Structure 1
């Protein structure tokens, strides 16, 4: 079985499949640290993702996992941190919100203690967990047809991937690869500054504007945001946008104004009208469909993409649903 895509969706799906007994390899166009996932601010919260009823279930399932992982923050990159969503009301959210522990109304919005994830650390941990799960069943990574390995491989045709089961977690890449023109970029720009002592996160999001205000305290600095520019493809940071981000955040916490800038980041969220979690058949390549569901005809392709701005938030819920579409290990 080959999972195509090495961001948070691909690696989490690979972990779930490997821990279910499947022999899994990951093919990724680029290393995890260069994916959109690595750029993400890392706060658990359903943002720019549909459909809401399904998203709520996936998000809550992921929340339970992150709450457990927060017991080992240095290892997993996951911490539980207090913060406020300014301007957000409970009655604006779906039924899932009532099941978020500690989510409560405050004077200017909603407060909660939520998972905040250091994405570079978390992606490295996912990769290591995937290798360990594979080794426990198939031996050292690389044995038994590469089980547990993450390879940098460019895929231009899903039907040409030499595996009985192919799982498509390519995010924005699915636009050309599937091809699926419904997948489109939503550009997000961030600024990382030295943390002047801020220990809580903050968001203020206007869903009718491409500009928002948020800051997340991470071990490597304070992440400031942000933007949500529809159909914008540029990965180059815009100095004017960066200055506006810092200004908006400093209006909330004045000490941010004098913080030294450490880095600028840009990521393209893989938006879609609805997440695609779907199973279909691929043409048989004339080889036994190793890893395919018993009795299946042809080879299996499972899609898991289109997570918008909430790939981290729904990663575990979507990974487990994708694994269910693959079926049990032989």
Structure 2
């Protein structure tokens, strides 16, 4: 069995398959630390991902896993951190929200203690756990999914599926971030204006305070824009003034693989082999990774 794609979706899927007894290889175009997953914030929350009824179940299944992993934050990269979604209301969310422990309404918005994932550490942990389960990771560029030599091929290529499938329904939503020295912020914050491509959020990670952000539809530019970076810092500093003087450590850009609906399904190939699609997770790949991985594993089992 070969999983194509080495981001959080690909590695999580490969791990679930390997720990269920399958012989699994991951073929990835680039190392995990250079994927969009590595750039992610990465707060557990269903953001820019559809369809909501399925997403809610996948997200809740993943939440249980992250809550367990948070017992070993240095190893897994997962911590439970308090924060607020400013301006958000419970009645504006799907049925899944009622099952999120501790999610509550406050004066500013919705408060919760949610998984916040240090993605470089988490991706390295996923890879190591996969290797311990006798899986492997290889840098390979795939140009034809049907030519991948395995009885079951799992397509976890994210935005790459646009050209590889091909599936023009997958499109990039560009996110720009700024990483600064943390001036003492210990809680996360989000304020999303859905009518604008600009939002305000900050996530305290071990390597610095991550500031955001943007959500620019159909934007392919991987280079950070200095003017946008300055606007991001200013918006975050309006919430926490101490951010204004924080030293900038890095600028990051990620292209979220958005689709009108996640594609998670079986596709029989003409030669009798099986292709499983698991892509189009938008800005919530981390949020649904484990739920989608388990569903992909079920789809990979022989029919009957």
Unmatched tracts of structure 1, length 5 or more: 135-147, 285-297
Aligned residues: 303
The superposition leaves residues 281-321 of structure 1 with CA deviations (integer Å, 9 ceiling, x where unpaired) of: 1232xxxxxxxxxxxxx100000000000000000000000
CA contact under 8 A between 1:194 and 1:259: conserved in structure 2? yes
Map of 1:63 onto structure 2: 63
- Pick from 281, 287, 294: which aligns with 1:320? 294
Counterpart of 1:154 (choices 141, 144, 156) is 141
Question: In structure 1, the residue corresponding to 2:110 is in which secondary structure?
Answer: strand
Aligned to 1:196: 183
Q: Deviations over 1:90-133 (max 9, x none)?
A: 00000000000000000010000000000000000000111111
SS in 1 for 2:115: strand
Mapped to 1, the partners of 2:34 and 2:161 lie a distance apart of 17
Residue aligning to 1:24 = 24
Is structure 2 residue 278 aligned with structure 1 residue 304? yes
SS in 2 for 1:110: strand
* Distance apart, 1:207 and its partner CA: 1.1
Residue 231 (structure 2) pairs with residue 244 (structure 1): yes
Report if aligned partners of 1:104, 1:112 keep a CA contact under 8 Å in 2: yes
Of the two, which has the highest radius of gyration? Answer: 1
| CA-based RMSD | 0.8
CA contact (8 A) 1:20 1:328 kept: no
Tell me which residue corresponds to 1:267. 254
**Cα contact 1:57–1:317 (8 A) shared by 2:** yes
TM-score (norm 2): 0.99
CA distance in 1, matches of 2:300, 2:6: 18
Alignment match, 2:160: 173
Report the equivalent of 2:77: 77
The reply on whether 1:103 has 2:103 as its aligned counterpart is yes
- Is structure 2 residue 244 aligned with structure 1 residue 257? yes
Equivalent residue for 1:215, pick from 175, 185, 202:
202
SS at match of 1:214: strand
- Deviation per residue, 1:243-292 (Å, 9 max, x gap): 000000000000000000000000000000000001011232xxxxxxxx
Does the residue aligned with 1:150 lie in a helix, a strand or coil?
A: strand
Q: 1:328 Cα deviation (Å)? A: 6.1
Q: How far apart in 2 are the matches of 1:153 and 1:43?
A: 30
